[in-house]
Amino acid sequence: MAEIVIKDLRKEFGDFTAVKGSSFTIADGEFFMLLGPSGCGKTTTLRMIAGLELPTSGEIWIDGEEVSKKPASQRDIAFVFQMFALYPHMNVRRNIAYPLVSQGLPRAKVNEKIAEVARILGIEDILDNPVSGLSGGDRQRVALGRAIVRSPKAFMMDEPLGALDAEFRERMAEELRALHDRMGATTVYVTHDQLEAMQMGDKIVVMNHGVVEQFGTPQEIYDHPATMFVADFIGSPPMNFIPFEGSVSPGAASVRVAGTQIALPALREEAHARRMVLGVRPEHVRFTDEGAYRGRIEAVEYLGTTQIVTLDAPNGTLRARLPSSDVVRTGEVVGLDFVASTLSLFDEASGRALR
Ligand code: ATP
């Protein structure tokens, strides 16, 4: 069990800076996601927390103790690189026992711990099987067993499901989350998959080019993206961006976009005489008969319960998610309306949210 506090963490490799001053707190027992595109610095951050990489500057605190310069062996953290990495010449029991045996734990204690872990993972029946004949799911469970058997303070996982096909991946993601909920150990999990992060995480840090773009719950990040990068990275299809030039005063009820007033919720700060961008999630676009902001339906993609409609609108391409039961026809011109309370507004130059 451990709270992990990261303060202004920085990592330079020669003259390249991989992590540019990150700060965030991981609460005790949290399932915490480090999310971002390839090369954004997530793995480097994870390795610094685990002690596999030393920071150039900044602090890492685990359980109230500063560990920034301590070696990995003194941090009591289990690092799950890739779940399939088992010792092929050992059976399941010996694979799981390995970390305890190498610590010199007495045999009776080892057996007790193995029984407990096997029960948690539901693998009591296969303890004496060779790992070579195991199914993919059981191999994952055994590898997890080896990570959890010594009850570390926290788990670090680097894309543990990355190599799996979609269906199996989803099932293991659910199992992993359920296992975490039973054990309650702080877990830091690296992924580039926004859906995985949204589904599994209690909290998410979104990184880009070594910078923390946003830190919050999945819902905070989805509903109130702090930057255009986050708005675009989270959600599929991503948030629509409608650029416009104009002036919006605090408390203003609407903005004028392409000759049409679009209703807005209250702003945090005054925004005027600069290029701004309205952000609209596809599920918040409505079709109306009378709307003056109009678009032509270019394509319709059927997705089962919903359909994604691509429109040619005055400010560019726009995507709407509608129930599949709505009748839409390619070529038709429709009025567009947005749910005011859900809109985002960004400063185009900085990419930062204005509300
Ligand atoms: P990925 O998912 O592709 O691994 P990531 O977000 O985990 O991406 P990191 O592995 O943290 O990214 O790498 C961040 C940047 O730092 C990359 O540009 C990478 O090339 C660079 N980098 C990482 N380790 C080293 C190293 N030991 N020496 C030099 N550059 C490094």
Tokens of 290: 């009378």
Which helix (H) or strand (E) is 211 found in, with range?
Answer: strand 211-216
**CA geometry: angle 266, 272, 275, nearest 5 deg:** 105
End-to-end alpha carbon distance in the chain? 36
Query: For ligand 1, atom 24, which residue shows the shortest CA distance?
Result: 44
Q: Which atom of ligand 1 is nearest to the CA of 44?
A: 11
18 lines ligand 1 (CB under 6 A): yes
Q: In this structure, is the dihedral angle defined by the CA atoms of residues 220, 223, 229 and 234, taken in order, positive or negative?
A: positive
Q: Which atom of ligand 1 is nearest to the CA of 19?
A: 14
Judged against a pLDDT cut of 90, whether residue 174 lies above it is answered with no
List the beta bridge partners of residue 17. Answer: 12
Q: Which atom of ligand 1 is nearest to the CA of 47?
A: 11
Q: What is the DSSP string of 275-304?
A: EEEEEE-GGGEEEESS-SSEEEEEEEEE-S
SS3 41: coil
The residue among 176 and 48 whose pLDDT is bigger is 48
Question: Among 50-59, 71-80, 220-229, 279-288, where is mean pLDDT lowest?
Answer: 71-80
SS3 127: coil
| Predicted confidence (pLDDT) per residue in 290-300, tens digit | 777 889 999 99
Give the mean model confidence (pLDDT) for residues 79-99: 84
Quote the pLDDT of residue 1.
63
| Predicted confidence (pLDDT) per residue in 186-221, tens digit | 999 999 999 999 999 999 999 999 999 999 999 999
**Span from the CA of 285 to the centroid of ligand 1 (angstroms):** 38
Let me know: does 2 contact 186? Beta carbons within 8 Å.
yes
43 lines ligand 1 (CB under 6 A): yes
CA pair distance 264, 314, nearest whole angstrom: 18
**Span from the CA of 129 to the centroid of ligand 1 (angstroms):** 38
pLDDT band at 138 (very low <50, low <70, confident <90, very high): confident
Question: Among 42-51, 163-172, 309-318, where is mean pLDDT lowest?
Answer: 163-172
Let me know: does 206 contact 224? Beta carbons within 8 Å.
no
Quote the pLDDT of residue 265.
61
CA pair distance 48, 79, nearest whole angstrom: 12
| Predicted confidence (pLDDT) per residue in 27-44, tens digit | 999 999 999 999 999 999
Question: Among 176-180, 262-266, 343-347, where is mean pLDDT lowest?
Answer: 262-266
pTM: 0.88
SS3 175: helix
Query: Domains plus CATH for the chain?
Result: 4-230 (3.40.50.300), 238-347 (2.40.50.140)
| Predicted confidence (pLDDT) per residue in 291-343, tens digit | 778 899 999 999 999 999 999 998 889 999 999 999 999 999 999 988 878 88
* Chain position carrying tokens 């996601």: 33
Query: For ligand 1, atom 19, which residue shows the shortest CA distance?
Result: 39
Phi-psi region of 340 (alpha: psi -120 to 50; beta: other; left: phi over 0): alpha
**Span from the CA of 143 to the centroid of ligand 1 (angstroms):** 25
CA pair distance 227, 246, nearest whole angstrom: 19
Q: Mean pLDDT across the chain, nearest whole number?
A: 89
Q: In this structure, is the dihedral angle defined by the CA atoms of residues 274, 246, 281 and 26, taken in order, positive or negative?
A: positive
CA pair distance 274, 350, nearest whole angstrom: 11
Judged against a pLDDT cut of 70, whether residue 70 lies above it is answered with yes
Quote the pLDDT of residue 273.
44
Judged against a pLDDT cut of 60, whether residue 268 lies above it is answered with no
Query: For ligand 1, atom 10, which residue shows the shortest CA distance?
Result: 43
The residue among 25 and 162 whose pLDDT is bigger is 25
Query: For ligand 1, atom 23, which residue shows the shortest CA distance?
Result: 44
Which helix (H) or strand (E) is 228 found in, with range?
Answer: helix 228-233
13 lines ligand 1 (CB under 6 A): yes
Percent of the chain exceeding pLDDT 70 equals 91
Quote the pLDDT of residue 247.
65
Let me know: does 235 contact 222? Beta carbons within 8 Å.
yes
Which among 20, 22, 43 is the best mutation to test ligand 1's pocket, defined by most ligand atoms within 8 Å of the CB?
Answer: 43
